[in-house]
Amino acid sequence: MTILTDRPHTALVVIDVQNGVVAEAYQRDAVVANINTLVGKARDEGVAIVWVQHSDDELEKGSDEWKYVPELARRDFEPVVHKTFGDSFEGTDLEQVLADIGVGRLVVTGAETDACIRSTIHGAFTRGYDVTLVSDAHTTSDHSEWGAPAPEKVIAHTNLYWQFQRAPGRTAAVTETVGVSFAG
């Protein structure tokens, strides 16, 4: 029950599943397969899919590393949002894209869990969206050499705490790919 009352629709958001982002990601192939399953389900049900694509000094726009993984194919009419910050809303047209198609609920997938996924789910929630995180359709690389927990712990912790997020008029949820419902 989003506080964006004039936005009854749901969108699948696929964040940064790019060659250079997920090349060394934890359970990369399984996560990409789950995202692909959700893309197919969304298309079958007529649910909007919004693709988010990051670029920065290390992920140069147009490079092979910047491109989406070959297993996931965006259709020309599906919007793509280009970003340079972790939160997919910051400095982008994501809010306008979602407003134009009447979206108040997001089903979030992608990479990296401890950066762009966390930033975006929090950014969406504070902007009034209902946010469902798909527990087995987001991933991260191993950043333990810099003091981060192992990837499986980062993912498990994010799945754990997100299901307990609360705010007036908004819903946070966590579900596995098989349990995703695009119905509000």
| The pTM of the whole model exceeds 0.95 | yes
Pairing of strands 103-111, 9-15: parallel
Residue with tokens 């712990």: 153
Mean pLDDT of 136-162: 97
Mean pLDDT of 79-86: 98
Q: How high is the pLDDT of residue 1?
A: 66
Say how far apart CA 76 and CA 74 lie, in whole Å: 6
φ, ψ (nearest 5 deg) of residue 148: -75, 155
Cβ-based neighbours of 164, under 8 Å, separated by 6 or more:
172
Q: What is the pLDDT of residues 91-101, one digit of tens each?
A: 999 999 999 99
* Residue 175 near residue 132, CB atoms below 8 Å: yes
Say how far apart CA 179 and CA 44 lie, in whole Å: 16
- Residue 120's identity, in one-letter code, is T
Long-range CB contact pairs, 75-83, < 8 A, 24+: 75/43, 75/49, 78/48, 78/49, 78/50, 78/51, 79/48, 79/50, 79/51, 80/50, 80/51, 80/52, 80/53, 81/50, 81/51, 81/52, 81/53, 82/53, 82/55, 83/52, 83/53, 83/54, 83/55, 83/116
Give percent above pLDDT 90 in the chain: 96
Closest Cα to residue 80, out of 159, 125, 16, 149?
Answer: 16
CATH homologous superfamily for the domain 9-179: Isochorismatase-like (3.40.50.850)
Tokens standing for residue 96: 């306008």
Cβ-based neighbours of 96, under 8 Å, separated by 6 or more:
none
Q: What is the pLDDT of residues 35-60, one digit of tens each?
A: 999 999 999 999 999 999 999 999 99
pLDDT exceeds 90 at position 184: no
pLDDT exceeds 90 at position 23: yes
- Per-domain residue ranges of the chain: 9-179
